[in-house]
Chain A
Amino acid sequence: MKARVADQHDTAASWLTAEKLEELRPIIEANAQAIVDKEVAAWTPEFRAALRKLREGGIENRS
């Protein structure tokens, strides 16, 4: 088990480099935007209206 965990650490460490992340940046950002766009598409007009009201300070913010 210890060996397996060590292997996993090595696997992650081996690909996570600044160069690799820069190379993947367009893919990562496109994927993230696609995920968010899908979720935002499911927002109802009522939820959007509530968000606008929150932003405009129409709802008390004391948490």
Chain B
Amino acid sequence: MNAAFYGTDWYGERLTFWFKSMGRASIVKAIMFRPTSEPDIYEIALGDLTSDGLIDLEVRSDNGDMEEVLSTVAKALLFFLSDHLGAQVVIEASSDSRSRLYQMAIKRELENLGDCLAVHGFEGENPEVLQRGKNYKRFVVSLRKDGLEF
């Protein structure tokens, strides 16, 4: 949580965030929380936003500011969860390298917010507490029910 992050703007109920990644180039990033067919379960879509409104999920920016981008996404996730207390957010890793990246970022956030967040990784169909060295295909993040004593 102590890493630098970008300021974000959002639409409506904090379901859509965007920010400018200012590394080697200036890239507009979108972070979107979308409802799924399962009640209270949202999925996050993170990608580069193009000037025609498309979101490129697969692009590898190599913009030199990965730490800031991941910290910004973590902030947006916390904003979202603070507005949607019962929500679970599914994060899907499109590749092994993305999976490692997400896991690093989640671990870092847990060091500061482990009492507030519940995070599980899915290698297959069953969730488990995150373990080092594993490449999880999906992560599920929510606020801990016993950590909601604001």
Contact = CB atoms under 8 A, between A and B. Distances in A.
Interface of A: 5, 8-9, 11-13, 15-16, 18, 20-21, 24-25, 27-29, 31-33, 35-36, 39-40, 44, 46-48, 50-52, 54-55, 57, 59, 61-63
B30 A32 contact: yes
A5 B25 contact: yes
A35 B53 CA distance: 13
A51 B53 contact: no
Interface in B88-123: 88, 90, 92, 110, 114, 117-120, 122
Given A40-B38, A44-B125, 9 more contacts: A16-B20, A27-B52, A28-B53, A31-B54, A35-B34, A39-B43, A51-B38, A52-B38, A54-B127
Interface of B: 9, 11, 16, 18, 20, 22, 24-28, 30, 32, 34, 36-38, 40-41, 43, 45, 49, 51-55, 57, 88, 90, 92, 110, 114, 117-120, 122, 125-127, 129-130, 138, 140, 142, 144-145
Nearest to B128: A59
* Interface SS of chain A: helix
A50 B129 contact: no
